[in-house]
Structure 1
């Protein structure tokens, strides 16, 4: 169990980066008085400048100096706080030592990773020890994968309350507007590089159950395509138009499946889950969906081949870059999840919010995830270990996000 007598309640690691500054600003404006927050990174001057821009409420926030490849400094950081929230990615490069330090110190941890191989390595290295230490290591607490994970969580809750059976075929349809994340692109680069090193890693990354606690116990549901074009009529009668592959679907689906397995397959043993993206419902939607599929496929191939990667690296956003204030403000996301239960009933859930998904909205999602651990630790699920947002934070995070203006709902159709 985390130590409530520590100097700090929460440390933001990577506070000088683009998302780190947004997170610090969000917490400076919304965290209740008395929450002891620190700002951490490797540059004292940049940390001081970040703190100065947060207003008088953050004037006394301590600054903690720690480099991502300095285990001693990270161990000291982890020992000073109850919770650490890190925005420093790609996590396969910069996150491993901090997870190790958090587990050893008994410190709860949240991050923004969307990297399958990093999370798999974290599970293998730390799940048992974190569980024994009573520590919650909660990966993917931003746009990837809180809306997906909590959307299925509340969908299951509603079906359970109605006594309508278990979830079977379930599809998330994402609608969104916002900027392209340089951090997400860099994570994709890292994932490609890691997969190229080892054929076994490529197979692991491609498995729909790559994050399962025990893949041998997963149900055999046949081929599950996490990157596909889908006719809306296959999803639910009221869904119109063809849907494109969703860029983060291949990651989010694995988090949701891990949530199901960690809870002894409570969503159902025949729960099949996929994610797609809306491109409108016009007669040309199939053409648009095919175009998106081609672009995504071309991006992966382009980043895998040195000559095209050289060009793409000079075109795509760099790590630490982000959209304008206007783009952040005008962005939005809406995740609509449709399911059919074992009794034949149809249900849907929705998770939606204003603000650029990868930046402004993500700061809210990560901030409230961290505050759930700081302020509501005694109300959270009992589970410890390397967890998911739904299994670590569950209904408490749903409640906090609703209070922060995020729509989270479920209904029978």
Structure 2
């Protein structure tokens, strides 16, 4: 809750664990330390639409059974993106890998009433390069054209631009959102 001064919220989930709903093992997602803080900041800035007891984590599915567990534990213990083993400037996917990359993210949720919710976000380019650059461009256009009234400060995209940005991403950036 570093980005939510004065608000602590509920204890958050962490670690590598089996996902009971899907029968698969999961491991921590590499971007979770950044993304989770921004999700909680959005919740705070928007006056807690998800509730003050909202919990949020990001994991990646590694598969079922012993093989899924083995992969989950290996990913959870991997520190290769830190220190000397970290990628060097200029290293990354090839142009072909960026152009043919894609992502399909599944969000699993449960309301305070116990209702299970499944939503997704899909993108038509590599998430670290191709899709991110389109998201940045659409965010800038959204702020200039659609949210001229946005106040200054340290906002998250969700809090500053909300549905206006979602519409732009779907129309112009090869990103789609939906409920399953």
Compute the TM-score of the two structures, normalised by the length of structure 2: 0.89
For the aligned residue pairs, the C-alpha RMSD in angstroms reads 1.9
User: Which of the residues 111, 116, 122 maps onto 1:341?
Assistant: 111
**2:146 counterpart residue number:** 376
Deviation at 1:257, TM superposition (A): 0.3
Aligned length: 179
| Aligned equivalents of 2:93, 2:168: Cα separation in 1 | 26
Q: 8 Å contact 2:146–2:164 — kept in the other structure?
A: yes
Assess if the C-alpha contact under 8 Å between 1:249 and 1:276 holds in 2: yes
Runs of at least 5 residues in structure 2 that lack an aligned partner in the other structure: none
Correspondence for 2:26 = 243
| Aligned counterpart, 1:284 | 67
1:328 corresponds to which of 67, 86, 98: 98
Q: Is it true that 1:350 corresponds to 2:120 in the alignment?
A: yes
Higher relative contact order (CA 8 A, sep 6+): 1
CA–CA distance in structure 1, aligned partners of residues 70 and 153 of structure 2: 44
List per-residue Cα deviations over 1:300-352 (Å, max 9, x = no partner).
4xx2xxxxx3xx3xxx4322443211111221112211111111211122111
1:256 aligns with 2:39: yes
What residue number does 1:410 align with? Answer: 179
Deviations 1:21-52 (A, max 9, x none): xxxxxxxxxxxxxxxxxxxxxxxxxxxxxxxx
Partner of 2:2: 210
Normalised by the length of structure 1, the TM-score is 0.41
**Contact conserved, 1:383 with 1:391, CA < 8 A, in 2?**
no
Distance change >3 Å, CA 281–CA 326, structure 1 → 2:
farther
Structure 2 counterpart SS, 1:390: helix
Cα distance, 1:218 vs. partner? 3.0
Contact 1:241 1:283 in 2 (8 A): no
What residue in structure 2 maps to residue 362 of structure 1? 132
Distance 1:403 1:299, change over 3 A: closer
Unmatched segments (≥5 aa) in structure 1: 1-208, 304-308
8 Å CA contact 1:333, 1:353 repeated in 2: yes
Q: The residue matched to 1:363 in structure 2 has which SS?
A: helix
Q: 1:383, 1:267 → 2: CA distance?
A: 22
